[in-house]
Amino acid sequence: MQNGRNDFIEQKSMLIEVITPICMGNNNALSYLDYLYDRDRKKVYMLNQHEWFNYLSRHSVLPRYITNLEKNSPKAPYQWLTTKSGLGANAITLEKLGKAVKTEIEVFKNLQLDNSGAKIQPTVRLVAGNIYIPGSAIKGMLRTAILFHLIRQKNNEKLRKEYWNKVVKEIHSIENKKIDEIKAKLEELDNELENYLLKIKTEKDFTDDTCSNDCLRGVRCGDAMLVDGMPNGKRRNVPTAIVKKIDIKDKPYKPNEINVYFETIRPGTKFQFTLTLEKPLLANIGISSVDDLMKILEEYYQSLNKVLMEGFPNRHDLFTKMRKGNAYLGRNTGFLHKSLLWALADTPKDAVPVIRTILHNEFEDHKHNMDKQISPHMLKCVEFGKELQLMGGVRIYRV
């Protein structure tokens, strides 16, 4: 009997529903010269720099604006435009600015954006201006969940302990090494472990350190596109808002506002992508269907939330909305979500001294050496509307 396509390939359309604000940003933060901030309307207008300079040239104020930029402390574009040197407050309308504005984004609260040196981390966009979630980000999240699942399997217990002991040994030598050396060694150990857990067992002569021998070649994620995206020409109204980063301790309860801003995708926004599994490549790690993969993702998500809730017993209110999710995605979702150290440790509490030492040596001013119950000792939040919310909560499910 011949094998059918379903024996080798499973392809499903998937939805990502945003549960709490997420930022799918890269490292290209916007400075205050890249946008107009209208405090009264609580709007940020992202500038198309080419069209912005054309706009200034058409109104014969470009030389004066360049003079402003050459100052030691130049005024932000909006503030300059409303002065006598500019065009006055009446010039700040979308109709008059035209193509100079790429996107109009709502700002929550009166944020100290203009002229403060603060930067906005935008979410990624397609050339046409639509927001989306890169398939590489989705696969990276799935990869971490799969590795967590494999590390905690009983048949890998000996391997887990072996690598945890190697990690602890490196941390004990930290006084004699620079933090960059330690991080490089930990990354090397992480790569060794991944290569072992994800290698394909075949009769072919693959080497362990080649991409060809990675069974997760069998997981392919397309870019997730906005459901009911912007019609052609409707480039300004997008389901995002600019919010300020807030770190939350278990005690005291006073939020610690950080001078960092994110363009976040609003809760309720949905994206659709295609998930393809090549079953023969995944057989070695026990994944034979999309349902298997979703169970692994749910297992990882619940384990992560359990660790966080135990570490922040007085902040369980922040996890109420997270019950609707099954994954963390995007920026500002915390160190634990990106690290497998707590998966390698015998218990999450055993990981605290190791993570504490790494973070303290990298961020000495953040007082991570005081971490006790959990490390890091902060939850990563934003104030969305009038409510504190954890960042990054999503639900991924089949259409």
Number of neighbours of residue 89 by Cβ within 10 angstroms: 13
Both tokens assigned to 81:
């435009």
b/e sequence 351-378, b meaning 16+ C-beta within 10 Å: bbebbbbbbbbeeeeeebeebeebbbbb
Both tokens assigned to 280:
């023969």
The whole-chain average pLDDT of the chain stands at 83
Q: Which of 5, 18, 6 is nearest to 393 (CA)?
A: 18
| 40 SS3 class | coil
88 vs 193, which has greater pLDDT? Answer: 193
pLDDT band at 76 (very low <50, low <70, confident <90, very high): confident
pTM above 0.85, yes or no: yes
Number of neighbours of residue 13 by Cβ within 10 angstroms: 11
Which of 66-75, 256-265, 286-295 has maximum average pLDDT? 286-295
What tens digit of pLDDT does each residue of 4-58 get?
467 789 999 999 999 999 999 877 888 888 888 888 888 888 899 999 999 999 9
Both tokens assigned to 224:
């997730």
241 vs 212, which has greater pLDDT? Answer: 241
User: CA–CA distance from 218 to each of 126, 215, 226, 280 (Å)?
Assistant: 26, 6, 25, 8
Per-residue pLDDT at 68? 85
Q: Which position has the token pair 């999240």?
A: 141
Q: Where are the domains of the chain?
A: 5-18+133-226+273-398, 32-102
Residue 107 forms beta bridges with which residues? 242
Q: How far apart are CA 31 and CA 368, in angstroms?
A: 29
Q: How far apart are CA 152 and CA 282, in angstroms?
A: 18
Q: Which position has the token pair 């000495």?
A: 364
Both tokens assigned to 267:
């809760």
What tens digit of pLDDT does each residue of 137-170 get?
999 999 999 999 999 999 999 999 999 998 888 8
264 vs 115, which has greater pLDDT? Answer: 264
**Nearest 5°: CA angle at 395, between 303 and 268?**
135
User: Is residue 130 scored above 80 in pLDDT?
Assistant: yes
Per-residue pLDDT at 223? 96
What tens digit of pLDDT does each residue of 324-380 get?
999 999 987 766 666 788 889 888 888 877 777 777 766 666 666 666 666 667 788
pLDDT band at 186 (very low <50, low <70, confident <90, very high): confident
